[in-house]
Amino acid sequence: METNIIKGKECAEKVLQNLSDKISALPTEETPILAVIMVGDNEASQIYVRNKQKAAAKIGMGCEVMEFSSSIGENALLEVIDELNSNHHINGIIVQLPLPSHIDTLKVLSRIRSSKDVDGFGPYNSGLLSYNSEQAVISATPKGIMHLLLSTGIELKGKNAVVIGRSNIVGKPIAMLLTNHNCTVTLAHSKTTNLPDIIKTSDIVVAACGRAKMIKGDWLKEGAVVIDVGINRIDGKLCGDVDYDSAIGKASYITPVPGGVGPMTIAMLLSNTFEAFIRQQSEPECSCGKSGCHCHH
Ligand code: GUN
């Protein structure tokens, strides 16, 4: 069968161009600004953050990166978030993950004011997602994946989907989104015993397990749509969680690595930041005075 390559890079460029046009049309004194908190010197995080910064600059969005040593205390980090929460110039706040192990990630993410939580990782927005609420801020990678799936024009209703990987960043939210789109979803993970059997009956495969080329082409159902979220390196060369070469000819659609899900993630983060900016323009400032407020006027 002919396999169509889903062009994530092109799709992301269209989203970014559209955002750029909208930002240029704003009155000159208004620029959406994203604050990025980075703790420690994780090499992958540094690359992701640099890419976010570059993309923001290209579309005329502000991006303030705040870097802290891995020895920063939890309370000091919470104070930084409190300041950003009450800074009217800041529209979106993200904390690059992973955080060092002495910091409670949930506590930190919960502190971000929900209207500025443009990664959608806080309990308020992830709770709204589970309610299938339109108010939910959907985290960037799952939102990008849905965009790519819908761009193929395939009907999602009633399809069997398997998500491999149960992370809070990708696996769990994409499983929820696919459920909300009427797929029958299996959320597989490292303790799943019969993964090839599950994949064999799946029309949609989302690979987000972080293991290079783990999913083989001969595990796939003929005509499956394959979304590869993995970013791994073998001998310096980037590859996904799917064994791409063996999936060609078996899948009906597949995302490449690089140039698939990755660029969409950045475009969706900036899109979430722009939407937060627009909402904040029309919503009154919260009067409760609490940092990390979830009153959600
Ligand atoms: N670490 C890996 N991916 C992401 C992401 O999309 N957002 C944040 N904040 N951290 C990450």
Per-block mean pLDDT, blocks of 10 residues, the chain (297 long): 98 98 92 98 94 98 98 98 97 98 98 97 97 98 98 97 98 98 98 98 98 98 98 95 98 98 98 97 70 55
Choose the residue to mutate in 84, 99, 109, 169 for probing ligand 1, maximizing ligand atoms within 8 Å of C-beta: 169
* Atom in ligand 1 nearest the alpha carbon of residue 94: 9
Q: Under a CB-based contact definition with an 8 Å cutoff, are residues 169 and 181 in contact?
A: no
CA distances from 233 to 78, 162, 240, 260 (A): 34, 24, 8, 16
CA distances from 286 to 85, 105, 115, 190, 276 (A): 11, 25, 10, 43, 15
CA of 48 to the centre of ligand 1 (A): 8
Q: Under a CB-based contact definition with an 8 Å cutoff, are residues 118 and 34 in contact?
A: yes
pTM value surpassing 0.75:
yes
273 C-beta closer than 6 A to ligand 1 = no
Closest alpha carbon to 115 in 268, 264, 265, 272? 272
User: From start to end of the chain, where are the E strands?
Assistant: 4-5, 33-39, 62-68, 92-95, 160-164, 184-188, 204-207, 225-228, 232-234, 237-239, 253-254
CA of 2 to the centre of ligand 1 (A): 33
Element spanning 79, H or E: helix 74-86
Q: Which residues are catalytic?
A: 52, 96, 119
pLDDT value of residue 297? 42
Task: Give the three-class secondary structure for 297.
Answer: coil
* Atom in ligand 1 nearest the alpha carbon of residue 98: 1
Show the tokens assigned to 207.
């690979």
Give every strand in the sheet of 4-5, ordered side by side: 4-5, 253-254, 225-228, 204-207, 160-164, 184-188
CA of 111 to the centre of ligand 1 (A): 17
User: Whose CA is closest to atom 9 on ligand 1?
Assistant: 96
CA of 201 to the centre of ligand 1 (A): 30
97 C-beta closer than 6 A to ligand 1 = yes
Instruction: Please state, in angstroms and rounded to a whole number, the distance separating the CA atoms of residues 204 and 179.
Output: 12
Radius of gyration of the chain from Cα atoms? Answer: 19
169 C-beta closer than 6 A to ligand 1 = yes
Most distant CA pair in the chain, distance: 60
CA of 249 to the centre of ligand 1 (A): 32
Instruction: Please state, in angstroms and rounded to a whole number, the distance separating the CA atoms of residues 18 and 63.
Output: 18
pLDDT value of residue 295? 63
Choose the residue to mutate in 39, 47, 48 for probing ligand 1, maximizing ligand atoms within 8 Å of C-beta: 48
Within 10 Å of residue 142's Cβ, how many Cβ atoms? 28
